[in-house]
Structure 1
Amino acid sequence: MTSAHSGSSARHADPDENPYVEAPPTDFEPVDELSAEDAAGQASLLRSAVREHDHRYYVEADPLVPDETYDRLFARLEELEEAFDLPTEDSPTRRVGGAPLDELETVEHVAPMRSIDNATEADAVREFDERVRRGLSANGFDPDDVAYVCEPKFDGLSVEVIYEDGVYARAATRGDGTEGDDVTEQVRTVRSVPGKLRGDPPATLAVRGEAYMPRDAFEAYNEALIERGEEPFANPRNAAAGTLRQLDPAVVAERPLDVFFFDVLVWETGDSGESEPNPPERPDAHWDEFDAFDAFGLRRASRVDRVGDVEDAIDYRDRLMAERDDLNYEIDGVVIAVDDRAHREALGSTSRAPRWAFAYKFPPRTATTTVEGITVQVGRTGRLTPVAELDPVDVGGVTVSRATLHNPAEIEALGVNVGDHVRIYRAGDVIPYVPEVVEKRSEGAYEFPETCPICDAPVERDGPLAFCTGGLGCSAQLERAVEHWARRDALDIEGLGPERVEQLREAGLVESLPDLYDLTVEDLAALEGWGETSAANLVAELEATKEPPLDAFLAGLGVPDVGATTARALAAEFGDLDALLDADEAALRAVDDVGPEVAGSIRTFLDNEENRAAIEGLRERGVGPESVDGETGDALDGLTVVFTGSLSATRSEAQAHVEAHGANATSSVSGNTDYLVAGEDPGRSKREDADGEGVPVLDEDAFADLLGERGVAWPPESE
């Protein structure tokens, strides 16, 4: 059974002494009314508070404040540091990234970062145990006293991180084990790496960690890359490695990297005077070092165990292998390490690996098979993705019959064609892909089609990628466009998932995006699996989206390179749909976060005849996005609300109303949601999400009372 360690009471900021920790005020006085002394004092409190919030969010996964409150505290700290030229060497604001580097310098590690001997067979682990016991006996220790710490073996990028007097000082990649690339500025931006340690750490602490990209964040990031027409990463490890070696720290700051710490490289207490803190000596056992990691605020894996028998270590590996696909990070085995430091020192190391640790790896997730065919899929943005149809093969316990070939450039690089014998790689939820051709059995590489396999429109190449030019006139793009229109971060139409969209397409009911708004209860109820209630609910959901916020409308259209953030910026800049439709590239480039490439992508999408016809068709059916007036109050400042069901106002009116008074109206329930407001016939999924997150559910009357207490009328037209 996995054991747990107790946490530490040490904090970056005491809520009794720091007003910005619990229920912090965010209504700050103008900076020009502050003295330099007051500004420095407030900045000091904010730095400590932001560190505490970072720790609670990224390490403990237990945030103290909503995201909006954190953003205001962070922005205030930035404002003070800039206005009063305050020092920022150890400030959390350094995480946004420094100036781009010319190259990565090479630095020597403070202690060797050795690799670990490994095998995939249990007998090899038993032999390791026998060597350990013989070595301990030869050095005068009782071999029966040996204990092992078992930990996940992360599949990321190993890093050395050094703290001096508790302050982040340097980071480097493993490199050759003796020296590695200096990635100090890159790692500084990773929010799970504290800029300042909690408690009383030693004078010098060097720790080894693994930089990785969480699975869910990897999938979301890859999706965003595809939305922008960029090449996605093949797997989370490649994403982490590619990110950490970026020369621009600001790019690293935008990517969802995390770090787990798992070992101590150097622990030096130094000399401290009587008035100085008394840092603890290094624990005598690795198991107890986990408690130190907790006390210092260093994030570590929770799925660890301490065992006294090698068979228990083997069982630990088998349990973790069964759970690996449920984890939010990639692992390729487990590390079994002698716990006692005196035992470790007696056993020593070879030139490349310690004798006191062993990696019991999982079976490889690769296999070889034959390409029986290649098909080309069409995505929502028109991007064409080639897929290898395979002679089915078992890869890590899963039968794989298809694997992505990514893009035309990848096909050319591999030189792959039908009939070739290829290697297949699969890991977790990552789509299987072809990393190499093992045996060439065909002539040349597969010739990529020059026209779309769905609509026969011409194919255009954009660097390594290929796109169908058919727009929403291409049925494949249409089906995915309808799915996108209904997504939570777009129009949020419950009951319109991929299977139902496909059913509507096959029934001939939806042949264009505007056709959604021609659907009737009778049309839907006649379909298999539908009833009067589900049909009426979907029609009502569609009716409620006829006056969406402009940014939701733009996000729903699926314009390449336009996600939720860019959609909000466009809505704020142009105010209404007609102004955006008429904007030239120069006007688009004037919008924050819209560069020449994105501006061109937006203009190309809006100029496409099929896309323009879809927009006009939506407007003819009464779907017209609301204009943005830009004026907001603050009566509901800090409140996050989600609406579901039928209310006395349309959902878009409800969202616009509360946002006009400073609230944040989101489309999905999360731990940051303050209230779910449920009208008649509320969506089941949002109610279940609210129950799971402990979010209070209010009916419309209770919500009206809540707003009334803050001086805001409900419903909107009553003001």
Structure 2
Amino acid sequence: MSEAELADDNPYVEDPPTTFEPAEELTAAEAREQVDLLREAVRYHDYRYYVDHDPVVGDRTYDALFSRLQELEQVYDLQTEDSPTRRVGGQPVDEFETVEHVAPLLSIDQSGDAADVREFDRRVREAVGDVEYVCEPKFDGVSIEVIYREGRYERAATRGDGHEGDDVTENVRTIPAVPQRLRGDYPAYLAVRGEVYMPKDDFTAHNKTRVEAGEEPFANPRNATAGTLRQQDPSVVAERPLSVFFFDVLDSSRAWATHADALASFPEFGLPRNDRVETGCDVEDAIDYRDRLLDERDGLDYEIDGVVVKVDDRAAREELGATARSYRWAFAYKFPARNEETRLADVAVQVGRTGRLTPVALLDPVDVGGVTVSRASLHNPDEIESLHVNVGDVVRVERAGDVIPYVAEVVEKRSAGHFELPETCPVCDSQVEREGPLAFCSGGLGCPAQLKRSVEYWGSDTGLDIEGLGAETVETFVEAGLVTDGVADLYDIERDDLLELEGWGETSARNLLSELDASKEATLPDFLAALGIQKVGPETARALAAEFGSLDALRETAENGDEERLRSVDDVGPIVAETIVDFFGSEANQRVLDRLADAGVEPDTYEVEGADELDGLTFVFTGALSESRSEFQDLVERHGGSATSSVSGNTDYLVVGENPGQSKRDDADANDVPTIDEAEFREVLQEHGVGEWVGE
């Protein structure tokens, strides 16, 4: 059927309606007829979008047609294996089955040296005479085999070892660019090789979403693609922006004389192919083609790392054959690795548990010291203004201490001005407030980002170590409305609330409720650390507990604004004292603390047990010790000493374990503080009459 005939016969092709009568008012016959027309139309629109790159309807119209098709299939039980709606994902699998390929998916010899390309050409012509080449981009994605039988999608598999791969049929089915049914005069049997990839713009957008949600971004589009195809839940794959290019016939009931002829037929079948393919090339044309694509590389919306030169004549290919690992009729002419300079594709703004807004540079992946980097620190608004950096600029990336990547400078200005943080929080739309070079969301626990991260922190190892209360569980609780106001909501959750959640059963519900109940008996240092007060970590929390002894005493001091009293505590300077006062002075935080007390979560009075053998002595610990650092600190405090986190003129000993930090040792040298190891520390204890030892 021609496109004109299709448009005449199908009302959902040109200017389709986007509102429909209620599904329940249709007869079964009317529903079936509408489903057939919608499937035909959706396949047509997929073809226009992914193959012709010339859509005739907008995204909203397409979504309305797709949703209507889903609705009718569900209401009237009309689902089929090859329906476009199967793209939303099937049932999760426990593990992927291994399947044998219909033909080997071998590697390609490669080099970045033009002389090696010419040597490849010499070998080919020596074996089969003069040939022409087809030149194609070398996609940096994941290679797959896809099989169609009688025009219907049957199976997809990863490359694996070239002879066997993972059966990813249901995952690949969710990729919109992969047709479920072929078009036109297709062969009865067709096995094709393709490359699944994530478009660069979609990759950047997806990474931005992950970063702003507090998740680790993918290193590059290929890793994102590979990780997605390995997902065991097809519905997760369906949510990620994958696409595909098909580039070779592996096996078919139809024969083609040349590779170029086979590629030309792909669009007729509805199979997307790349539009940068060039045919009729000799070896010098191929080398020139690679150089042109290198210049155009940054403007493409997909990653390529070179070009592939293929013998066009398929009979000559058969004659050339293959080695155990690679084809003799193809060669990859690689690009040089990107090195340190790259484009700043976007800026994500993370909101931390304290409300601090952190700008993160999302980069076109670049090699920095042998590591692929796709994000880097931009520090704060003042640093951004100093760099005069904005989205689109070419920047140089360095790694601080060979670890943390950061934007060092702009090497090519391609934008106007510099990036500015939003005036309102990107998560909750509350006003953003500036404190010197830093920016904070004013939404408090009313901001979902701060709420989630404060609850995650409460249950983390640094907090109350509540097993089962990880990021995924917290996300579920917030989305279900079980946690809306802060950590106190956790203690209102009941068994039936958990059993109503997907994936929760009697055992998991009982275990978490038991963990929550046990957390009510937290020590005061652990409780204070779990609150997530800005700049108050476990060591400062321990110092506060030792000084004030009870939560009530600390609250009274802080709520009265007595910063001078707080500054008398080891590890508490003017800035930390101010953050403690601000935290306990917040009405929202006071409400949460009161609700925790009502739920029975109120730490006991903290008493430093033991005598005063170490009274007047201050210790700092660094490096890996035989037991946790907190156990050494507790030992010191039980005997009247102080254990702080930083070295100063008041420090008596720096106790050094394995792989210690250099800064504390430098501070010790600057302040004439003796540095001792673990054995010498025990001798100090014994000299002061302390017979107890860590772990005893």
Scaled by the length of structure 1, what TM-score is found?
Answer: 0.53
Structure 1 residues 192 and 89, CA gap change in structure 2 (3 angstroms): same
How big is each residue's C-alpha offset from its partner over 1:161-185, in whole Å with a ceiling of 9 and x where there is no partner?
A: 1111111110000011111000000
1:96 counterpart = 2:91: no
Secondary structure (helix, strand or coil) at the match of 1:356 reads strand
* Equivalent residue, structure 2, for 1:214: 199
Could you tell me which residue of structure 1 aligns to residue 161 of structure 2? 176
Three-state SS of the structure 2 residue aligned to 1:263 is: strand
- Mapping of 1:533-548 within 5 angstroms? none
- What is the correspondence of 1:691-706 to structure 2 with a 5 Å cutoff? none
Q: Establish whether residue 161 from structure 1 lines up as the match of residue 146 from structure 2.
A: yes
Q: In the alignment, residue 58 of structure 1 is paired with which amino acid? A: Y
Distance 1:401 1:124 in 2: 25
Whole-Å separation in 1 of the counterparts to 2:139 and 2:49: 21
Is 2:60 the counterpart of 1:68?
A: yes
Structure 1: unaligned runs, 5 residues or longer: 1-8, 138-142, 269-280, 368-376, 388-394, 408-427, 438-444, 447-478, 494-500, 516-552, 562-568, 617-719
SS state of the match for residue 325, structure 1? helix
Match of 1:412 in 2: none
**Partner Cα distance (1:317, 1:304) in 2:** 11
- Picking from 12, 21, 27, the partner of 2:13 is 21
* Rg comparison, structure with higher value: 2
Q: What SS does structure 1 have at the residue aligned with 2:155?
A: strand
Aligned partner of residue 91 in structure 2, secondary structure: coil
Out of 38, 46, 50, the position equivalent to 1:46 is 38
Letter in 1 for 2:153: Y
Classify 1:482/1:359 alpha carbon distance in 2 versus 1 (closer, same or farther; 3 Å).
closer
CA contact (8 A) 1:111 1:266 kept: yes
**Cross-structure match for 2:274:** 301
The aligned residue for residue 330 of structure 2 is 357
Match of 1:414 in 2: none
User: Contact between 2:144 and 2:196, CA under 8 Å: does it hold in 1?
Assistant: yes
Q: 1:212 to 1:431 in 2, by over 3 A?
A: farther
Distance 1:321 1:221 in 2: 26
Mark the CA change 1:614 to 1:241 in structure 2 (over 3 Å): closer, same or farther. Answer: farther
> 1:334 corresponds to which residue?
307
Give how far 1:560 is off. 7.0
- Alpha-carbon shift at residue 513 of structure 1 (Å): 6.0
Matching residue of 2:647: none
Q: Which one-letter code corresponds to 2:295 in the other structure?
A: A
Q: For 1:230 and 1:581, how far apart are their aligned partners in 2?
A: 21
1:117 match: secondary structure: strand
Indicate the larger mover: 203-212 or 27-36: 27-36
Compared CA separation, residues 112 and 615, structure 1 to 2 (3 A): farther
Aligned to 2:622: none
Aligned-pair distance for 1:151? Answer: 0.5
Check conservation: 1:381, 1:558, Cα contact below 8 A.
Answer: no
- Would the aligned equivalents of 2:50 and 2:177 in 1 still touch at CA under 8 Å? yes
Cα deviation, residue 36, structure 1: 1.6
Q: Does structure 1 conserve the Cα–Cα contact (< 8 Å) formed by 2:308 and 2:333?
A: yes
**1:238 partner SS:** helix
1:11 touches 1:198 (CA, 8 Å); kept in 2?
no
* Aligned counterparts of 1:233 and 1:323: Cα–Cα separation in 2: 24
Deviations 1:441-483 (A, max 9, x none): xxxx99xxxxxxxxxxxxxxxxxxxxxxxxxxxxxxxx99942
Q: How does 1:185-584 map to 2 (within 5 A)?
A: 185-268=170-253, 281-365=254-338, 379-381=350-352, 482-483=421-422, 485=424
Alignment partners' CA distance in 2, 1:33 and 1:177: 53
SS at match of 1:334: strand
Of stretches 23-32 and 398-407 in structure 1, the one that deviates more from structure 2 is: 398-407
Matched pairs, number: 450
Take 1:108 and 1:251, find their aligned partners in 2: how far apart are those partners? 26
* Distance of aligned partners of 1:17 and 1:263 in 2 relative to their CA distance in 1, 3 Å threshold: same
Alpha-carbon contact 1:385-1:406 (below 8 Å) kept: no
Distance apart, 1:20 and its partner CA = 0.7
Long gaps (5+) in structure 2 = 341-347, 377-392, 405-417, 455-475, 505-515, 517-530, 535-578, 589-696
Find out whether 1:122 has 2:97 as its counterpart.
no
Out of 77, 96, 120, the residue aligned to residue 85 of structure 1 is 77
| Structure 1 residues 173 and 582, CA gap change in structure 2 (3 angstroms) | closer
Q: Name the SS for the 2:231 alignment partner.
A: coil
Asked if residue 59 in structure 1 is aligned to residue 51 in structure 2, the reply is yes
Structure 2 Cα separation of the partners of residues 84 and 347 of structure 1: 55
Cα shift at 1:286: 1.2
Task: List aligned pairs for 1:679-690, cutoff 5 A.
Answer: none
Q: Shift of the alpha carbon at 1:570? A: 13
Q: How high is the sequence identity, in percent, across the aligned residues?
A: 53
CA distance in 2, matches of 1:512, 1:572: 24
**Per-residue Cα deviation, 1:594-624 (whole angstroms, up to 9, x for no partner):** 999xxx9xxx9999998999999xxxxxxxx
**SS of match in other structure, 1:99:** coil
CA distance in 1, matches of 2:503, 2:421: 27
Any conservation in 2 of the 1:484–1:558 contact (CA below 8 Å)?
A: no
Does structure 1 conserve the Cα–Cα contact (< 8 Å) formed by 2:351 and 2:357? Answer: no
Shift in CA distance, 128/430, structure 1 to aligned 2, threshold 3 Å = farther
More RCO (CA 8 Å, sep 6+): 1
| Alpha-carbon displacement from aligned partner over 1:529-553 (angstroms, at most 9, x marks no partner) | xxxxxxxxxxxxxxxxxxxxxxxx9
**Could you tell me which residue of structure 1 aligns to residue 677 of structure 2?**
none
Contact 2:42 2:62 in 1 (8 A): yes
Q: Is the CA contact (8 Å cut-off) linking 1:485 and 1:557 kept in structure 2?
A: no
Q: 1:99 to 1:319 in 2, by over 3 A?
A: same
TM-score (norm. length: structure 2): 0.55
- Separation of aligned partners in 2, 1:299 and 1:615: 59
Q: Is the partner of 2:264 in helix, strand or coil? A: helix
| Structure 1 letter corresponding to 2:352 | T
Equivalent residue of 2:8, what SS?
A: coil
Are 1:386 and 1:404, in contact at CA under 8 Å, matched by a contact in 2?
no
SS of structure 2 residue aligned to 1:358: strand
Amino acid at match of 1:74: F
